[in-house]
A = this chain, B = another copy of it.
Amino acid sequence: MSKNATNTGRRAGLDRNDMVAAALALVEADGVGALTMRRLAAELDVTTNTIYWHVGSRDELILEIIRSHSRQIAELPIEGTTAQERVFSAARHIWESSMASRSVTSLAHQTGTAAEHLHPLEVVLAQELEAAGLRGEELARAQRSIQVTVGGFLLNALRSDASREGDARGAAWTDEDNGLTPETVDALAQSPDYDALLADTLRAIIATHVG
């Protein structure tokens, strides 16, 4: 008698890609914290074991999410005529893409897969640096300097829109007797405009490498 009391034999009709897609959707909708195996299983109307069978582990799942999203990143057109402008544009695409899909970017940062995530855009940057005349070691230095800097800005920008609790950020500057000008303390206590700040910083870095 097979009354299917356990439901073990049913076909869910889902494959690896479906799980990755659902996981990606879950992260984009409800954030990194929502990505638990049980939650994803519930979303797919399936048990966690099914996910494990198709995907292997949570780490593999995350890697696939990042890879999948990496392929979806649209390569915006590079703007500008001078070499500096075009490199700047390529660098900012990394920032803009990352900020546009904050949740996935957070996931990539937390799991150390940020390089994999943004790789297509980083290639474009490298191409633009070659077009500017850089090669080899010299190019690598410029490339890394830009990548790491953008990464730092992402880190701070993503954190600051996660914690909007009474601006504890700048309070440390005002509640203390450092020997700073009140004017300076005021400026440091306010929440920064990372977008504009990154623009300035990038221009400074790029100017030293592509001249």
Residues of A within 8 A of B (CB): 109, 112, 115-116, 119, 123, 126-127, 130, 134-137, 139-141, 143-145, 148-153, 155-156, 159, 162-163, 169, 172, 176, 178-181, 183-184, 186-188, 190, 192, 194, 197, 200-201, 203-205, 207-208
- Assembled-state Cα–Cα distance A119/B119 (Å): 33
Secondary structure call for the A interface: helix
Query: Is B135 in contact with A188, judged by CB distance below 8 angstroms?
Result: no
Number of copies: 2
From residue A135, how far is it (CB to closest CB) to chain B in Å? 5
The answer to whether residues A143 and B200 also contact, given A151-B152, A183-B136 and a CB cut-off of 8 A, is: no
| Contact among B130, B184, B194 with A139 in the assembled complex (CB-CB below 8 Å) | B184
Q: List 9 A-B contacts (CB under 8 A).
A: A130-B180, A137-B187, A139-B184, A139-B188, A140-B188, A143-B188, A148-B155, A201-B205, A204-B204
